[in-house]
Structure 1
């Protein structure tokens, strides 16, 4: 009986060790592919600490600008940057109906399960911020915390007012006349988002000279197919403000004070107000990419908050 019990215990132990090793292999540093929800999702692992999932914005850019610039977070997290469906190296379903906000949320949940993580941190920028807030609303119990950078949570009258104010602040800039036509889809010579982006990018920065720093981060690999399909599917158009109270985990809301597209007044302030566990950080003299324009203030303030959550640096 003792021998049988020992053999059984040994088999269970071996299977347990194998399971742990398999899970760890999925989180080995470098590039991976996960088969989830009928598609292959490309993800990249770097850093150490609790797992933090970070999706791309969803409408087209790849992980390059994220994984090549947010490295200070890797001292506190095992960062899992991933290309959302249709972007970067991930599979791109041809049917636009597979690009709804729910599809993106379900992919995040499936990736968490694939990585065998009972609970995770999640971080998102721009429409990636929308994704993590939407996930938090529906899966708060699967989370340790949320970091929402320049996040979008709803388009309403206040948003349109702030958007117009931010545009008017830029009306005397040399890029404005051409850029506004492209931004408002009034330039018939521009046939795709990837072709129009160089004219639009200056709007995203407080200091237009910082666009060069963004370019150094690598090819954003914009997917026109993802842009078209997410637009048709109305991805990211849900009004989240009224549901944010469902989030109770520690949440950090970060915004640049000169962000023209996901501004402080209509977005960040209201996101933080509607989440009882939220802390808001405003980065001065920064636009949509606040950590690129003001890296010292951004990372100092964010890391200070992480330490308050009892997260420890691995270096």
Structure 2
């Protein structure tokens, strides 16, 4: 696996990892402190078909921490553009983003529509979209399962003043809620054993300090062929967000899995990788 650190045209430093063989696919992870490690661990079946480039966004891995005013999903889309330039690509053949990483990938497709061919969004957040009703309904449904009670309590506890290590403990405790089957939360060693998550990153991207840019009015700018995968048991990025995105991008394809949570390729591996490969080939 290649581990590359490069200087951008703006003078910042970005890191990426290169694995696999085949057509290029850039992987856009959430930038709020998880890094790309959980994706490197669990997306390996795609490396049989694609060369995967796992980008570490600013303030993640060895990438430079920016001024807080430039730590928004809208700004982070520029990191994908810096990577495209570094790789010497006229156009990104395939861009895949998960969760908040999907938000950044979608911003890239909005801001640089001529620079991406195919866009794959896995349980992405549509920035600025009010999904409170669907999220509450999903949490209520999960609360019916006794196995979820301790995990749900972990997230509702106060964490504003936690250390990065304390915040990681909250993430580990809450992790089962992200899955349809809470026992499936152990399928990622990186996630279930994570020891430190940057609260600085999280606050700027999803917390009280965030600078929100609204994506819904901008969706018509996307020209990339787009596949979206959502899951009925995802309490964080509900299918309602996928439906709203699809409405703004009528030519896109929306797939919704039943009995599956926030990480479809971990709970429905065969279906997820099949749908991605078929869309891209």
- TM-score (norm. length: structure 2): 0.88
In structure 2, the partner of 1:197 is: 171
Give the C-alpha shift of residue 255 in structure 1.
1.1
CA contact (8 A) 2:74 2:213 kept: no
In structure 2, the partner of 1:67 is: 40
Give the C-alpha shift of residue 117 in structure 1.
0.5
Distance 1:110 1:123, change over 3 A: same
Structure showing greater radius of gyration is 1
Post-superposition CA distance 1:5-25 (Å, at most 9, x none): xxxxxxxxxxxxxxxxxxxxx
Measured in 2, the distance between the counterparts of 1:245 and 1:79 equals: 28
CA contact (8 A) 2:37 2:190 kept: no
Measured in 2, the distance between the counterparts of 1:288 and 1:50 equals: 26
Aligned-residue Cα RMSD (Å) equals 2.3
Distance 1:109 1:100, change over 3 A: same
2:271 is equivalent to residue 287 of structure 1: no
Question: Could you list the runs of 5+ residues in structure 2 that have no partner in the other structure?
Answer: none
2:237 is equivalent to residue 245 of structure 1: no
Q: How does 1:114-153 map to 2 (within 5 A)?
A: 114-120=86-92, 121-153=94-126
In structure 2, the partner of 1:12 is: none
Measured in 2, the distance between the counterparts of 1:216 and 1:260 equals: 21
2:242 is equivalent to residue 268 of structure 1: yes
Give the C-alpha shift of residue 30 in structure 1.
1.4
Give 3-state SS (helix, strand or coil) of 1:32's partner: strand
Please identify runs of 4+ aligned residues in structure 1 that moved more than 6 A.
none
Give the C-alpha shift of residue 119 in structure 1.
0.3
Higher mean displacement: 82-91 or 136-145: 82-91
Give the C-alpha shift of residue 54 in structure 1.
1.3
In structure 1, the partner of 2:7 is: 35
Q: How many residue pairs end up in the alignment?
A: 275
Give 3-state SS (helix, strand or coil) of 2:234's partner: coil
CA contact (8 A) 2:180 2:260 kept: yes
Distance 1:174 1:39, change over 3 A: farther
Distance 1:258 1:177, change over 3 A: closer
Give the C-alpha shift of residue 100 in structure 1.
2.0
